[in-house]
Structure 1
Amino acid sequence: MQTTTLDLGPQTAEVTRIVAGVREDQLCHPTPCTGMNVAALLDHLVGLTVAFRRAAEKAEGTGGQEPDAANLVPDWRTRLPAQLEALATAWRDADAWDGMTTIAGMEMPAADVGLVGINEVLVHGWDLAVATGKEYRADPATAQACLAYNLGFAAGAPEMRDQIYGPVVPVPDDAPAFDRVLGQTGRDPDWATG
């Protein structure tokens, strides 16, 4: 179990920067996240930022729904940055990482939920960036924590990992931590150029 906290702020700020550059004509673009275009991915980010903030606060979650471009809220350009900031703020409280919490109807150790949440932000932020032609900067501490999380997840719960992600994309062991995270989550780090 995690004994120290991780500041989600550097990565949520980077995703906010990416969101600010998304153009209306890019909402229909495909993303590396199978089955989601940019609008559906934004809808997913809107939902997950609320769910993981509420988990940090040890509050009851809202019922999740499948991401859908048709459900993207009209004010996503202002709502999503505010929710990303609120997410980071909630997880800055050391108590957020202690004990148990609930996410998607499952009770889990809060420290694990915090890592799942920042992993979602990190990876889906990249999905959004490459789908809209933007450079993406992974926070080094976040990338390292997410790599450890994903390697542990794959080793400890391979069947569950395979239900969530596509097949592992081979990435050299000496590649940057973030490229290895992408490979572990079924993404080709060269997706934008491939």
Structure 2
Amino acid sequence: MATQTSDLLAAAAPRTVDVVRGIGDDQLDLPTPCRDYTVRDLLNHLIEVVVNFQALAEKRSVEWADKPDHLVDGWRDRFEAETGRLVAAWSDPSTLEGVSPGMGMPQTVIGGMALLDLTVHGWDLAVATGQPYEPAPEAVAELRGLVEGLAPTARRMGVFADPVPTSSVDLPDLDHLLAQTGRPPTWLPTR
């Protein structure tokens, strides 16, 4: 069985998995567009997101305070396996029903947040490590509305930075999404 959420995650996941597989061990200390996050920090966060959002699909509580180092032997393979589990976790239509007991938001929003992290952090890691990245267009289209709805609260909580002013209203969808989450679409690492 599949849901719109699992279909979108299935479209986005391989693109981010490819980026993660392309990260060299010598790139783990590079900066990323996420303030105060190195590539290592962001990888650890993204692995935690992929694992925790599997539990959130099942309406279980998760612990965000633990910050283990997930970058141990086989971490690239583990990330790929966990993203597959994430897609499978959101494929049951019941995952989209009701409100998340742990997050207090509709389950449809929670599934969208997993997609947002997978997509935007895929871009973050790609630009930080000099890799190409083309997000799933259907995911980006879906995420624009989600980000507009989440942005005020996310900014108050420090999850999103202030929106980045842009010079064009005709931005590509990804650039608009990045700007709304506080990322300059033209970000380049300073080494």
Calculate the TM-score normalised by the size of structure 2: 0.88
CA contact (8 A) 2:31 2:128 kept: yes
1:80 corresponds in structure 2 to: 79
Partners of 1:99 and 1:42 in 2: CA distance: 30
1:100 is paired with a residue whose SS is: coil
Q: Per-residue displacement from partner, 1:152-181 (whole Å, max 9, x unpaired)?
A: 223xxx254242111211233321111111
Identity %: 36
CA contact (8 A) 1:40 1:67 kept: no
Structure 1 residues 59 and 146: alpha-carbon distance in aligned structure 2, compared to 1, 3 A threshold: same
The structure whose RCO (Cα within 8 Å, separation 6+) is larger is 2
Structure 1 residues 10 and 160: alpha-carbon distance in aligned structure 2, compared to 1, 3 A threshold: closer
Q: Within 5 Å, give how 1:101-120 maps onto structure 2.
A: 101-102=100-101, 105-120=102-117
1:147 corresponds in structure 2 to: 144
- Equivalent position amino acid for 2:91 in 1: R
Matched pairs, number: 183
- Select which of 170, 173, 179 maps to 2:175: 179
CA contact (8 A) 1:96 1:110 kept: yes
Q: What are the ranges of 5 or more consecutive residues in structure 1 without an aligned counterpart? A: none
C-alpha displacement at 1:51, in angstroms?
Answer: 0.9
Partners of 1:67 and 1:184 in 2: CA distance: 27
CA contact (8 A) 1:41 1:67 kept: no
Partners of 1:165 and 1:130 in 2: CA distance: 18
Runs of 4+ in structure 1 off by over 4 angstroms are none
- Select which of 147, 163, 188 maps to 1:168: 163
- Equivalent position amino acid for 2:23 in 1: V
CA contact (8 A) 1:18 1:134 kept: yes
1:137 is paired with a residue whose SS is: coil
Calculate the TM-score normalised by the size of structure 1: 0.87
CA-based RMSD:
1.9
Q: Within 5 Å, give how 1:34-113 maps onto structure 2.
A: 34-61=35-62, 63-65=63-65, 71-74=69-72, 75-102=74-101, 105-113=102-110
CA contact (8 A) 1:165 1:186 kept: yes
2:59 is paired with a residue whose SS is: coil
